[in-house]
Every structure is written in structure tokens, then in C-alpha cells.
Amino acid sequence: MSTARTAASTLITVAPTGAETAKVDVPALPTTPEELVETAVACERAGAALIHIHVRGRDHQPTLDPVLLKEAVDGVREATDLVVQLSTGGAITDPLEQRLTVLDADPDSCSLTCGTTNFGDGVFLNPWGFMVDLYRLAQEREVVPEFELFELGHVHALRRLIDECGLPHGGKVHVDFVTGVPGSMPGTAQALLAGVAMLPPEVTSWSATGIGRAHLPIAAASLAAGGHLRVGMEDNLMFAKGQPVGHNSELVARAAQLATLLQRPPMSTAEARAALAIKDRRTR
Ligand code: KMH
Ligand code: ZN
């Protein structure tokens, strides 16, 4: 395992909403533009440096509406200094062509999943041609991708993608292991470490998240192995047994505590922008 990649501080990403949970089931899920901005501000204060955004429509359903995506990017950018990442994964029902249009909202970063995977009872589709199109578009628009790895095979696909398309804008390669999705890579330290061992040398930083019950063990394993953290209600709705998450900032604050305890305190937004080579799109 590479220790050269181990940073002195920890990048904390918050994924506050996702596309899978219904607002009626979880009223604390931020789905309106106001709730998103309020969440972003609170999570930045709690230690997050990057926000992974899925947008919801007025009906609280997931949407890739270009106007709403732009509103979300601008709103969070105005209110915080967070690195603004838009999901290009969307919901499993979103058409591939529409997922490419996410970049029109001019985010700092976008997710790029490195292959198709089981996703609960469904399938999250990311065929090779789509990955290449999305990657080339991100390079052209100077948007920094975060490569999402749900499977060990996705690590190998990342190798192929870099070989075929070169490095991202800015030259940094940041990946995120998404573990514990039913039917995909399990949320265990063993699976995570197997993935880390396979990372191509071009990778400059990696983070990990665990879905549901895997949230905390994966955070601990990631920190111990030199990785960064992703937390948030997209991935986990329970703070502890019998205690639902009341606000995304609770998960960020706990991640910040854990990272600080392990002598790798949260990265500032400025440090995160440098570590990921984010192009400055801020106007203030
Ligand atoms: N909602 C999942 C189908 C991403 O944001 O790029 C895909 C996902 C990954 O959440
Ligand atoms: Zn997502």
C-alpha cells in the first residue's frame, strides 16, 4: 500500500442527498434549494471541503433539469467555498445522454463511475463508451472528475481509462471507493484494502464511503490506510443504532472528530482545491 499518498490532513466529502431516499420517508433529507444551501454551509462549518450533489425537483424527486442543476451549483458556490461536485450518476433510471449534460452546469468536479454495477435490485449502467465520452467532456470543460469505484473491476477500468484518455484537467487523480452497495463490493476493510492495493500509480488521492452499517467501519479503515472520507445521507441514514441522522452536519462533525483523533484533521477548502487541482470558478 502506498504511504506516499497519505496526506497530513483529511478531505471530508459530504454527499447530503443522493437519488434513492424519498423525502416522505426521511424529512431531514435536504431536497429543496434552500435546504441544500443550508446543508452546505453547516457541513463546511463542520469540516467538509467537498460536496457531492444530486439535485431534486420541486416534487422532491431526483432530476437532471439543467436549470435546477445550475441553480444548485451557483447557490452552493455563492454561500460556501466548498468544492462543488455534481453527480453524473443521477438515478439508475436516468438516460446516459442526459447524464452527460450535467457538465453544462459548470461544476468544479463531477463523479465518473468506472463501470456498470449491481445496485440493489437494479443496475447502475456505466458502459465503456459512456465513461470515455464523459471523461473527454470533463477534460474539455476543465472539470475535475472523481472516479467512483464500486467494484474491484472498476479499479482495472480506471487503468484502461487513463491509458486511453490521459490524465484529468490539472493532472490529479482522485478516486472514491463506494462500498457496501447491495450486490457490489462489500463494505469491509478487506475489500477496501484490496482495492487500494490495485490503484494505478497515477492516483494521487483516494477516499471511501460505506453504505448503511458499513459507514463507520469504512471511515475508520480508510483513515487508518491513509485515505480520505466521504459521509452523508446519500450513503447512510442512521447515526447510530436507533438514532436516525438529524442533519448531514452530524455525520461530517463525527468524521472530523475521528480524523482529528487519528492526527489527520479536516482539510481546508483551499487545501482541497490544491490537492484536487480544481480550476477556480468563484466570482467572489
Ligand atoms: N445514485 C446512483 C445510481 C454518482 O453519484 O455518480 C449513482 C450514484 C453515483 O450515486
Ligand atoms: Zn451520488
pLDDT tens-digit series, residues 208-254? 999 999 999 999 999 999 999 999 999 999 999 999 999 999 999 99
- Give the pLDDT score at 1: 43
- Give the pLDDT score at 7: 87
What is the overall mean pLDDT for the chain?
97
User: What are the pLDDT digits (tens) for 1-60?
Assistant: 444 688 899 999 999 999 999 999 999 999 999 999 999 999 999 999 999 999 999 999
Residue 47 domain-assigned?
yes
Distance of CA 3 to the CA centre of its chain: 22
Collapsed DSSP state (helix, strand, coil) of residue 180: coil
Contacts of residue 59, Cβ cutoff 8 Å, sequence gap at least 6: none
Measured CA to CA, the distance from residue 148 to residue 235 in angstroms comes to 14
User: What are the pLDDT digits (tens) for 4-14?
Assistant: 688 899 999 99
Residue 6 domain-assigned?
no
> Which atom in ligand 1 lies closest to the alpha carbon of residue 111?
6
Ligand 1 pocket mutation pick from 102, 148, 151, 154 by most atoms within 8 angstroms of CB: 148
- CATH number where 267 lies: 3.20.20.70
Ligand 1 pocket mutation pick from 21, 53, 54, 236 by most atoms within 8 angstroms of CB: 54
- Give the pLDDT score at 264: 98
Contact between residue 124 and residue 150 where contact means Cβ atoms under 8 Å apart: yes
Q: 159 lies in which domain range?
A: 12-276
Handedness of CA 272, 273, 275, 278 (dihedral sign): positive
Residue 216 domain-assigned?
yes
- Whether the CB of 112 sits within 6 Å of ligand 1: no
Residue 89 Cα to ligand 2 middle (Å): 6
- Give the pLDDT score at 283: 85
User: What are the pLDDT digits (tens) for 165-198?
Assistant: 999 999 999 999 999 999 999 999 999 999 999 9
Residue 125 domain-assigned?
yes
Determine phi and psi for 84, rounding to 5 degrees: -100, 110
Collapsed DSSP state (helix, strand, coil) of residue 263: coil
Contact between residue 270 and residue 50 where contact means Cβ atoms under 8 Å apart: no
Measured CA to CA, the distance from residue 114 to residue 118 in angstroms comes to 13
Nearest CA to ligand 1 atom 7: 89
Residue 199 domain-assigned?
yes
The mean pLDDT value for 83-102 works out to: 98
Domain count, the chain: 1
- Taken as a whole, the chain contains a residue count of 284
The mean pLDDT value for 137-142 works out to: 98
Residue 1 domain-assigned?
no
Measured CA to CA, the distance from residue 172 to residue 15 in angstroms comes to 21
- Give the pLDDT score at 2: 45
- Give the pLDDT score at 4: 65
Residue 87 Cα to ligand 1 middle (Å): 6
Residue 31 domain-assigned?
yes
E strands in 125-265:
144-149, 174-179, 205-210, 228-231, 238-240, 243-244
Residue 3 domain-assigned?
no
Give, as residue ranges, everything with CB less than 5 Å from ion ligand 2.
87
